[in-house]
Structure 1
């Protein structure tokens, strides 16, 4: 439990740092003279360069544990932000964002694998995943408005420098606080379990399930692209930060309902995807509904969905090969985050990008089986 608390603190600082950039990057790129299409590529390239990092991360985390890769991601990302503070041309920002996407590709699968390895009980693992979601959401509630506030007082350069030093400091804290023996023990436990059960090289579930994180990330990429560009790009940074915080507040509500972990993960995933789809349809078509109400509801669906998705993959994998399982999940989300903003930038003059997100989410929902036939016989049921 002590290790989980340390990890939650590092994750909070890291997520706070990263989410503080969301309302800042688009106005910063515009100030450099970037066009909306270029901004879509800038946001997408970050996700695209996640892919080689995710491919490398899976086997390395299973082999060596998570500690060294958490430290590497945090520290390297901080150094890149320090360099980003001195950017003067759009292509320089594009290059640094691509490098940042690669180094941060190790962080999410390493953290999720470490948390999942702390317990073998499915309900406890679900609570750890919910804790991960709560920390992520708390950071994202505060950080967008905080990032906008820092920009208003310190400018773009001062903001990136502050966030960069915070990430470097977090990396050093992880170096001195995460014990080496834990990461090694967790990795050895997973390897021993895989060897004992003679698991095949292939994952014990269909790869089509990774369409779920792909569609979710794609829809999120569209959302993160569109919100700063509302009102023809004239919306203030502060109002944009507040809207992002509203989403996180909604997610925090459902993440705090820990009793939801007692319900089967595939049921929660289906309900979460349906909720997201309805919210994106409302963004595309329901002009009479206040945007804050829609975004708060969207946050509710996200808070239900994300821990359920992690629990689903843990359950289907049987607790082994978690590094590969979560690295593939990160790959699917990276692809979705790459496709989302680029599609929004290319097609926003033809059709509402929110409607594209709605169609994708509904398609994924229709592809899901009514019940999880691939799960082990011990499915978690509500008490």
Structure 2
């Protein structure tokens, strides 16, 4: 079980470590501003394709083969970052990186959801959320420090070694899960139905990543608007991850087993709304810090409850497909949030406020729909 959490950390470090360096790396190769935007967004686009392919493949062959092939494929693609010489070559590498990376996370979470263990699913997903939080904190710092001190190639070599190393460990130490045939199992087990809780889960993770896309775009601008040092953006982004991790690993994680998942998701989304409003009204670094702590609380409520809902409402024969769609919504939310933020020519404060109002409206409609009796 611990190895799976390590794999999740490495998989997300692979993504997060490139956030601060991919734009300058593309520019160093001679990419135009428009091409830089395409290079950044292409990873998430192909990641969606990889998530969906992963889901179907997991249900046919089991998560182990998908997990190992995905990590080996990513390790190989990461090496090619170090030998590209033109922006056009980087476009191809980014596409295949996102495609291969999309295979890994659904497979890892399918494993976690299918493990026969005495631990409750809510706590398991809380610890998986902590793994993502650790990667979100360590990844950007790691990428910036290593590439800054030793160059981009060293970062890509390090990620290659980490990914291939984890693949080798998975091959030898991750056990196979029995693949349940759709013909052999009962319809109740094999069917993947988009129940109201499942739709709530998919929509909630999309909205969470949508707000994160807005946050990534607008927070540096908000820091600049308040005439603060640009270096403060990194610590502010780390704060929400730290708060989320504390909620995941402390005794507060019992909430994820005692409370209804739909209620947890709703509370989390409302907290995110409050965080966005707070960011909009913030007039100092302390205010921004408090707002990001609030955001971390919302993130902590949403991530485990959405994952646990997918586990509870998907049969084992279709769990791979369920998590594939889940992480496709995850990736699509990032793309949509960034595009939404970039398309609106407004101040960062007004952008946070618009995001909060849109989110609140969707949450109200979603909550009413989820509890409407089925005729």
SS in 2 for 1:287: coil
RMSD over aligned Cα atoms: 3.1
Residues 221 and 337 in structure 1, CA contact (< 8 A), matched pair in contact too: yes
Partner of 1:101: 98
Partner of 2:248: 255
Alignment of 1:306-317 (within 5 A): 306-317=303-314
Matching residue within 230, 236, 242 for 1:243: 236
Partner of 1:147: 143
Q: Give the Å deviation of 1:223.
A: 2.4
SS in 1 for 2:328: helix
In 2, the alpha carbon distance for the partners of 1:37 and 1:291 equals 30
Q: How many residues align?
A: 365
In 2, the alpha carbon distance for the partners of 1:124 and 1:64 equals 26
Q: Give the Å deviation of 1:235.
A: 9.3
CA 363–8 in structure 1, closer or farther in 2 if over 3 Å, else same: same
Matched, 1:67 2:64: yes
SS in 2 for 1:23: coil
In 2, the alpha carbon distance for the partners of 1:19 and 1:282 equals 25
Residues 189 and 315 in structure 2, CA contact (< 8 A), matched pair in contact too: no
Matched, 1:221 2:213: yes
CA 175–319 in structure 1, closer or farther in 2 if over 3 Å, else same: closer
Q: Give the Å deviation of 1:237.
A: 8.6
Matched, 1:197 2:188: yes
Matching residue within 104, 111, 114 for 1:114: 111
In 1, the alpha carbon distance for the partners of 2:75 and 2:228 equals 28
SS in 2 for 1:317: coil
Residues 69 and 107 in structure 1, CA contact (< 8 A), matched pair in contact too: yes
In 2, the alpha carbon distance for the partners of 1:191 and 1:5 equals 30
In 2, the alpha carbon distance for the partners of 1:162 and 1:244 equals 24
In 1, the alpha carbon distance for the partners of 2:230 and 2:75 equals 23
Normalised to the residue count of structure 1, the TM-score between the two structures is 0.83
In 2, the alpha carbon distance for the partners of 1:194 and 1:217 equals 35
Matching residue within 44, 49, 59 for 2:46: 49
Normalised to the residue count of structure 2, the TM-score between the two structures is 0.85
Q: Deviations over 1:67-105 (max 9, x none)?
A: 111112222222222211334444433332222111111
CA 226–84 in structure 1, closer or farther in 2 if over 3 Å, else same: farther
Q: Give the Å deviation of 1:108.
A: 1.7
Q: Which runs of 5+ in 2 are unaligned?
A: none
SS in 2 for 1:6: helix
Q: Give the Å deviation of 1:170.
A: 1.6
In 1, the alpha carbon distance for the partners of 2:195 and 2:301 equals 25
Q: Deviations over 1:96-152 (max 9, x none)?
A: 22221111111121111111111388x711111111111221232223222222122
Residues 253 and 300 in structure 1, CA contact (< 8 A), matched pair in contact too: no
Partner of 1:211: 203
SS in 2 for 1:368: helix
Matched, 1:284 2:275: no
In 2, the alpha carbon distance for the partners of 1:347 and 1:216 equals 19
Partner of 1:369: 367
CA 273–125 in structure 1, closer or farther in 2 if over 3 Å, else same: same
Q: Deviations over 1:337-364 (max 9, x none)?
A: 2222223233245775434432342232
Residues 23 and 228 in structure 1, CA contact (< 8 A), matched pair in contact too: no
Residues 192 and 314 in structure 2, CA contact (< 8 A), matched pair in contact too: no
Q: Which moved more, 1:137-146 or 1:125-134?
A: 137-146
Partner of 1:163: 159
Partner of 1:295: 292
In 2, the alpha carbon distance for the partners of 1:94 and 1:354 equals 31
Matched, 1:334 2:331: yes
CA 96–242 in structure 1, closer or farther in 2 if over 3 Å, else same: farther
In 2, the alpha carbon distance for the partners of 1:273 and 1:247 equals 15
Q: Deviations over 1:152-189 (max 9, x none)?
A: 2112232222222222222222122212xx32x2x32x
Q: Which runs of 5+ in 1 are unaligned?
A: 376-383
